[in-house]
Every structure is written in C-alpha cells, then in structure tokens.
Structure 1
C-alpha cells in the first residue's frame, strides 16, 4: 500500500479502458494518458474549485508542461486505477503528480505543471485562495 500522507488533495479514480483507447496490439495509446490526466485534474478541482466557478472569475488553469514516464503497458480488460495529487503549490504555480496502476503495479508516472491565468490579459495570477487553503490544510 502506498503512503498517502504526503499527497495533498489526492484523488483516486477508477479508469475504464475503452476499445478506442487501444492500438492494434491491445495497448493503451500514449495520447489516451493525456485525457486521463485531464479527467483526474478536473476531479481534483471539482469539489474545491469547479471549472465553471473558476471561469466565472475570469481566470483559468493553464498547463505549461506534461511529463509522462511509461513503465508498463496498460491493456484492454485491465483493472486500472489513477491517482493524482497536488505535489507543489506556490503563489502562482502548481504541480500535479499522477500514478496509473494495474492491480497495484505502477504502470505510469506523470507530472504536470502550470499556473492560473487572467483570461483577458493572458497573464499569470495568484493561485485561487480556495485551492491554496485546501492544499495547506492537507500538508503533512
């Protein structure tokens, strides 16, 4: 079992591999992982700061980097579990870490970083206070 004490805002998300997610060798295509990361990132924000609430304030989360390390293939029929948490949060930037596992075996590790931007000025703004407060409350 993985230690969750240093994983603030951790979400665990069961993933269903669809027929359109796999290639001719029955292995999940690498582009699918980006969609799964987007889904998990949305889940992290859903309870704290729903996207419609963020957009209503005139800001949006922006990704500047995604790094994915593929360790083992994921296939159709696998029992896949995704986990994501906010691994770092500063005044203006955030970093997320994700793990995708099959039967508790780590298959993929991913890192995403970005910031929040004013949609009119297209300039970085402070991380929303609701997100910062929730993250600080879960610090080990």
Structure 2
C-alpha cells in the first residue's frame, strides 16, 4: 500500500511490524487463541519483546509473504518467529522473533500457558 512507503517507494520499517501483527493474529487462531475466545475470557497474549532484522528493502508494489511459527515454549512465555520474503525472487526481506506472555485482564495477571499447549512442546522440540 502507498501509505506503507516513504517518498522513494521503500516500505517503511513500521509497516513490517504491522504485517507481523497480522501474521501473529492468524497464528494465534491456529494455536487455539481465537479473538472471540480472548474477548470472552479476557485472556490475551501480549508482546514482551520484539527483535527484527531488516535484510533488504521492499518496494511499493512488491508482493510479500509473511511466514510465522511457534519457535519456543516455556511455562509462561512463548516465542514466535517470522520471515518476510519477496514473492518474485524469494529474497529474505526481514526476520523477526517476538516473546509473548498470556495475561488475564483487567488485572494484567501473568498466566501459565494452557495445558492444551503441551502438544506444541513436542513439535517445537522436534523442529529445533
């Protein structure tokens, strides 16, 4: 989108974080954290840390693919990783890793990850 770029047609660094936010929301749905359930239970994943490495510039009009996956799990924290790739040549545009935690609102109390996530622990270990 034009508003994602600077006057030279280069995608602005903040736009990548919005792309990652969308990918993370879709990943959350796959992990059983549906937006409707979050609203009903008032349990939300919150970003604690974001690390992003910009490898190449993307330009206005280029199609990008954002890949996201669960990278690591602990008792209360989990990490998601993302890659942004240009479709035409598979060039790596950016890599990102985010640390998240689950909280109960409105108190913002830190929660242990649900037992249902145990099935992801084995998959994450196998992938590493």
Residue 109 of structure 1: aligned partner: 95
> Structure 2: how far apart are the matches of 1:133 and 1:51?
21
Q: Which has the higher helix share?
A: 2
Shift of 1:136: 3.2
Superimposed CA distance per residue, residues 44-72 of structure 1 (whole angstroms, 9 cap, x where no aligned partner): 11232202202312211111111111010
Deviation beyond 4 Å, 4+ runs, structure 1: none
In the alignment, structure 1 segments of 5+ residues that lack a partner are 1-17
How far 1:92 sits from its partner (Å)?
0.4
- Structure 1 residue 134: Cα displacement: 4.8
2:42 alignment counterpart: 58
Distance, in Å, in 1 between the alignment partners of 2:81 and 2:56 is 17
Size of the aligned set, in residue pairs, is 122
Return the structure number with greater relative CO, CA threshold 8 A, min gap 6. Answer: 1
Q: CA RMSD in A?
A: 1.5
**CA–CA distance in structure 1, aligned partners of residues 115 and 25 of structure 2:** 17
Equivalences for residues 1-140 of structure 1 within 5 A: 18-47=1-30, 48-102=32-86, 103-130=89-116, 132-136=117-121, 138-139=123-124, 140=126
Q: What 5-or-longer segments of structure 2 have no aligned partner?
A: none
Q: Aligned equivalents of 1:53 and 1:68: distance in 2?
A: 29
**Structure 1 residues 87 and 70: alpha-carbon distance in aligned structure 2, compared to 1, 3 A threshold:** same
Deviations 1:59-96 (A, max 9, x none): 11111111111010011121211101110111100111
The structure-2 alpha-carbon separation of the partners of 1:51 and 1:137, relative to structure 1 and needing over 3 Å to count, comes to farther
| Aligned-partner Cα distance in 1 for 2:94–2:17 | 12
TM-score normalised by length of structure 2: 0.87
